[in-house]
Structure 1
């Protein structure tokens, strides 16, 4: 029996056993807050410490992750620059140009525009008087 066959056979069986144990042993006490739809516009649960956040932060995080991983791909080229010859250097420059174009388009589309995202109207506590 090969290792790959053992892995293909063992992992699904182990996953099924663990899922079955979870269904059998986990407590099942649903209440209104557990079965209600999540993030659907209902007011927050009393005493809940979560607060709303802008989806902009998630977009920035995903874009950072993508560009960070692409920059990490340039590290092996930098380390082996003397061994990759002119062809390898040209491919690395081409990759860097495509990465730069993507970053410029990202900035141009406003995906990473950092600004005040608070959309609530500003209130002024001072009363304005006509003079």
Structure 2
């Protein structure tokens, strides 16, 4: 008896969901909303436009420093298991490498927005 009632309730729910799904759909499709969004580029223009290399370099620099920061944050947890001196040396070397990389990118001109 309980199985039959659960089956009937499931079927009624399924039919109700299907009817609501069919009646609630938008019938008007908008060409702008159904087109893919490509990072501010107009998707209806030519796809062979030159891409700004500066945007690419900034994105790569961001990813590199973002990954390095995610490597730096777990070092706080290792402070309990390591000695303070080894923690200080490891963190100092890691931050020095980050600063050297930032200085190198700055001197190469990758961080200058107007080239």
TM range (shorter): 0.5 to 0.7
Per-residue Cα deviation, 1:81-106 (whole angstroms, up to 9, x for no partner): 23221213311211111111111111
Could you tell me which residue of structure 2 aligns to residue 84 of structure 1?
82
Q: Distance in 1 between matches of 2:112 and 2:79?
A: 35
TM-score, scaled to structure 2: 0.53
Give the number of aligned pairs. Answer: 70
Instruction: Select which of 40, 55, 58 maps to 1:57.
Output: 55
- Structure whose CA Rg is larger: 2
SS at match of 1:98: helix
Distance 2:77 2:46 in 1: 47
Question: Which consecutive unaligned segments of at least 5 residues does structure 2 have?
Answer: 1-43
Which stretches in structure 1 are left out of the alignment for 5+ residues? 1-46, 118-131
In 2, are the aligned partners of 1:81 and 1:89 still within 8 Å (CA)?
no
> Aligned residue for 2:106?
107
1:80 Cα deviation after fit: 2.5
Q: Is the 8 Å Cα contact of residues 60 and 111 (structure 1) preserved in structure 2?
A: yes
